[in-house]
Structure 1
Amino acid sequence: MAEKLTDSEGREDLVYIKTEDGSYRGWRVDLLIDNLSSKMEEKILLCSSCKGMLRDACFYEGDLKCGVCIPEGVAWQPVKMNREIVSDKMISCPVKKRGCEWSDTVSTVMHHLEKCEFFPVLCPLGCVCLDGERKGKVMKLERKLIPKHQRDSCPLRELVCEFCMNTVKGCEMNPHLEICEHFPLLCPNRCVIEGEEGTRQVKRRDVSVHLANECPLQKVECPYWIYGCREEMERKEMNLHEREFLHIHHRLSITDMKQKQIQMSKDNKLLEEKLDTATERIVLVEKNFESKSRELLTFKQNQIETSKQTIDKLEIATKKIAFLQNENESKIKELSKVKHMEDKLDTANIKIENLEKQISKKDSELKSIIEVLYSHISLATGQLEWKIKGVKQKIENKESSYGDPFYVGLYKCQGNIEWNYDNTGKVVVAICIVKGAYDDKLHWPIIYKYTFILLCHINSYYNYEITKQVTKEDLEKYPNSLKRPTEMRNDGLGTRSLISNTEILEAKYCKEDSITLLIKIELLPAL
């Protein structure tokens, strides 16, 4: 759309019209310094619609019009003669009302506007107006005012905080000063520095330390608070308080010491009682230790007798081993016969290897047959009659249901239902491509037409059916649904508005808390 400049008072001032392609047409006639020489020339120079001075004219419906006044989509050809006539005319600066005294030929006006000091331009930092007609838009100022605006008033100019020396935008300086750690604050107690006038100033980050350790006006507790002195006073009065109440503090500390001695006596008595109890337990443990030692001695004697019996059994076992060695010699003779059998087994293994090679050759032939088979059934049709039980509970729990996998040609597919999708009360039905045994032989991405039919067990007339097919938009929007699967299954692709939860629970579709969904898929040629 065309953009019209406005002067400082907000009135529309059609000095020129700027189109989206960057061209300029429709200069005001009253900017011309010399008058038009003839009516014919005036007709050529002015647009019949906007009455602006033409730069490139064209014929439309029998009249001369500028490019802005011609409807979009209409092809037109400029009249070059008009450009030659206009370019030599003397014209004043389009923003002369702002104070510019420039004048020259029309052909040089655009070059002048690129450097005119009175021409309104956008703030280079991009600050926006807070009120007026341009509220919310980037601020416009005369070109000569831009340096002063950037230096003094632009809210996006960069300033340096005089306290922490960090760089902050102009519009953010006041909020920054409210949190700046180095900003000087008056002491909350309004204390002063001795020998100086005025309240003490402390950096924001040091206020808590100042109050805790330094401020003479801060209320503090008496050091003998733990002994019973409950006086609170300003820090500067603490020395006087300690001198005046020295005898009281002394008496409080002595009283506290006596109380602690009494408590220590009680604690010592408890410790002595615990020590007596521990001594009795030690005596009992020693008696148990003597009893266990006797039991251990008896156990050792029994172990020695058991070891003697084991040695006697070992001697008998040695004699048996000798007898077995004699028998092994006879077994070795039999092993020679086994070796002969092993030779026969090696021969059999060679035959098995030959058979495996033949099987491998047959397998490669089978793969070739599968490729030929795929070329004949690449446009095959598959369907699945899917009975879904427990429909009410699935809708309430918003469960995701998957049907049994089925093949369409050599592609392995699976149905998927999302119940109460996004709490909208709709049922989402989709087709998921599943990893199959022939994926490396197939063409990807898969293109197909799919049909979902919700069967009515009363009358097929009421079957609910939706048919769609994969488009180029689907390939761009859902690439992960149509490519070769890398996981167990791809993302589903289908319809988000098959039928609502309320409709699917009607008696004509839902019988004994079950529904039957027929899924049909027809493979299509690549797009």
Structure 2
Amino acid sequence: MKMVRSLTQWTKTLSFPSRISPKSSKENVTNIQAVTPSHSNNSLSPPYIKTNNEINAIMNDSTITEVNKIYPDPESEKAIMSSVVYCIHHKEGCKWSDELRKLKAHLNTCKHDALPCTSKCGAQIPRVLMEDHLKYTCPLRRARCDFCNKEFTGETLENHVGNCGFEPIYCENKCGLKVQRRHLSQHKAGECLKRLLPCRYCSKEFVADTLAVHHNKCGRVPVVCPNRCEATVLAREEVETHLKDHCTSSVLNCNFKDAGCRFKGPRYSMEKHLEENCQQHLSLMCNVVTKQQHQIASLKTALSRLSLNYSGTLIWKISDFTSKMAEAKTKEGMELVSPPFYTSQYGYKLQASLFPNGNGTGEDTHISVYIKILPGEYDALLRWPFAHSVSFTLFDQSTCPEKACNIVESFIPDPTWKNFQRPSKEPDSLGFGFPRFISHEMLKKRHFMKDDTMFIRVKVDPSKIVAV
């Protein structure tokens, strides 16, 4: 397509790589200068021309006579037309540069120059982009859908793309399959492995490809009794209860199995077995009780060993002392004994005793305290006679610890005394201690009793040779 341009059109935006010749400068055209205005879509405004007389004129594409009014001097026009210029599209990438008079011919072939769309869509498209425009962006182009092979114009094709029923798209349930858009609803409803389906037994919903696994575990799946009894079909979750409590064909162990009865039989025969073997079952239960009693005794012994005190120090708590004192006054020789304790893990076994109403020289007037040596498990390995110092402390339970006044008595055993020799199986009945430990009157003067409770500490120390 050939285009005819006026002088003003092909001089719209000019860039001069060199100044005009000296000859032209003598003819008062040295100050002619082209200014490049802003433009868009290859539609440019006429250049702004500045002369020595500051005359401004706007060039348009009307007629040649208007151009002659601007350039009345043929020599000046000739000089300007011979000026070397760049293509008006040099910023778009055109590298053409030549005399101004050749610009018109160049623009007819310049690939960056805009032409009307050949499909007559009304757009002005550069030659270099015309082929892509006609093929991809022209709204009047003719194109076929890649999926349904129907022909559309460019605008209708754009609306058709994304809605074509033949286009394969991924299933929305993420099953991994591509399905034509027109078949997608049918696929999701009846074929998709990731669709939700209700279990026909428990009515809960599961993904289709996991439903078979669920059926293998579903508690509501109907099953037959494993014993083939007369019961009708059962739910899987009810089978265990049925076999345990209701199945008439179940083979059961006798209720006295743990006692030693070895009978096994169906449920219907169990009642008869129990009636006919009462004496045998009673005998078996008696044997079980006897064994359990021995076990309990053994456990008690083990527990008492675990609870023994191996520290060599006993804190003895004596509660309800008033009632025990009253009982001691009416009952001669009433003695209170402490829990046994050891001087160490493999040491001497000791026990403290207390007479609330006194003993010997302290009878009726004092509290008497004593220490006994009991037969221990490791006596054969210990040194005899017993030689550790022993001290008794009655604590003053005053609310002000600084004002408390404890009662303390101690002694070092005499190796010649029988009380400190290795004990026989029967321990000494009294032991060794203090018959006049504290008087009844002194007991009332301070806070040795609080809430009807007193505390006595018995401490055995092997390192001390002086009683404290």
Larger Rg: 2
Higher RCO (CA-CA < 8 Å; seq separation 6+): 2
Q: Which has a greater percent of helix?
A: 1
Q: Same-fold call, TM > 0.5?
A: no
